[in-house]
Amino acid sequence: MLELQWAEDLDDERTAAVRELLTAARGVDGKPDAEPDGPLPGEFAGGRYLLATARDALVGVAHVDESGDAFGRWVAELVVHPGHRRSGYGTALAEALVAEYPRNLRVWAHGDRAGAATLAERFGLLRSRELLIMHVGTAGADWPEPALPEGVTLRTFTPGADEQAVVDVNARAFHWHPEQGELTVADLAATEREDWFDADGFFLAEKAGTVIGFHWTKVHPPNPAAPEPASAAQSASEGGGPPGDAAGEVYVVGVDPDAQGSGLGRALTLAGLRHLADRGLRRVILYVEGDNTPAVAVYRRLGFTPYEVDVQYATADAA
């Protein structure tokens, strides 16, 4: 028999159970970024948890970020353990989630799978946002030296000195974005303590001593169990390597609105791509809003192709 229970604080035992479930899901789905001995991924930290238990085993979890996105909407994740799927547990979790949050809710569906679309339709959730995941192989990529606008110089990030400048540019560049626009100095400082953070892969563009843009790169460790996306054969033909390999990421490219249209975004992107290729990474990924047509066009010209879509489904008032 399935038991559903809301919890706001997880004790060590429940945290371990959630971590095990998310790690098992990563082995099948490639997401979320959970490790057997690490902390819960950021999108599952804090907030409220809806725990689904059957025969004393955690079979599913929904998480609600009650701090909300930049526009005050609740944001939820829902995961069923791979060993317990197609048993109605996802439906039960979704029903309880929508009953608890009937308004102002958005729910992520990673991979744009048919089952998620069916669940969303059943509970009246509307397709409201598409996050396009693109990738490119570095083998044979002919990325030129960045051509910076006149008077602009490029350097790398200095921890303890550049946080406020980056946050200021980020706020202006992403005032419209549901998540990125809320970056704070404390958030940035916390990320600097993460194992993956590398100041040498964090590029800043300056003009007259003022930071006007940045490209923050990231390197993901290998995930041998990651599934191959639909275009894995194309990825291999491009020299991208299997999706489970260590991969670089165009993590964030931000350009001050006053400097947009000058080619600075492309120059910053090239600087990061060349850095990731020099590190020997065979594949680079990025996330971009599906309706950001100009950005998608720039990335396509740099060789990126789409291979997956993450979708947010929303209650009607949050769509």
Task: Tell me the pLDDT tens digit for each residue of 134-174.
Answer: 999 999 898 999 999 999 999 999 999 999 999 999 999 99
| Structural domains of the chain sorted by starting position, each given as residue range(s) with its CATH number in brackets | 2-124 (3.40.630.30), 134-309 (3.40.630.30)
121 by DSSP, 3-state: which?
Answer: helix
In 101-162, which ranges are continuous DSSP H helix?
A: 114-122
Residue 235 bridge partners (DSSP): none
pLDDT at 301: 93
pLDDT category of residue 229 using cuts at 50, 70 and 90: very low
Residues of each annotated binding site: 78-80, 179, 218, 249, 253-255, 260-266, 287
Do 207 and 155 touch, CB atoms closer than 8 A? no
206 by DSSP, 3-state: which?
Answer: strand
pTM over 0.85, yes/no: no
pLDDT at 30: 86
pLDDT at 64: 97
Task: Tell me the pLDDT tens digit for each residue of 205-224.
Answer: 999 999 999 999 999 887 65
pLDDT exceeds cutoff 70 at 230 = no
Per the model's pLDDT, the better-predicted residue between 67 and 278 turns out to be 278
Residue 251 Cα to chain centre, angstroms: 9
Residues of each annotated binding site for acetyl-CoA: 78-80, 253-255, 260-266
Could you tell me the two tokens for 129? 């946002």
Segment 278-282 mean pLDDT:
94
pLDDT exceeds cutoff 70 at 234 = no
Could you give the strand order of the β-sheet that contains 2-7, starting from the edge strand earlier in sequence? 2-7, 48-54, 57-65, 74-80, 105-110, 305-314, 126-137, 283-289, 247-255, 210-220, 202-207, 152-156
pLDDT at 244: 61
Q: What percent of the chain has pLDDT over 90?
A: 78
Q: Measuring CA to CA, how many Å separate 220 from each of 15, 146, 215?
A: 23, 24, 16
pLDDT category of residue 6 using cuts at 50, 70 and 90: very high
Average pLDDT, the chain: 91
Segment 15-29 mean pLDDT:
95
pLDDT exceeds cutoff 90 at 68 = no
pLDDT at 308: 93
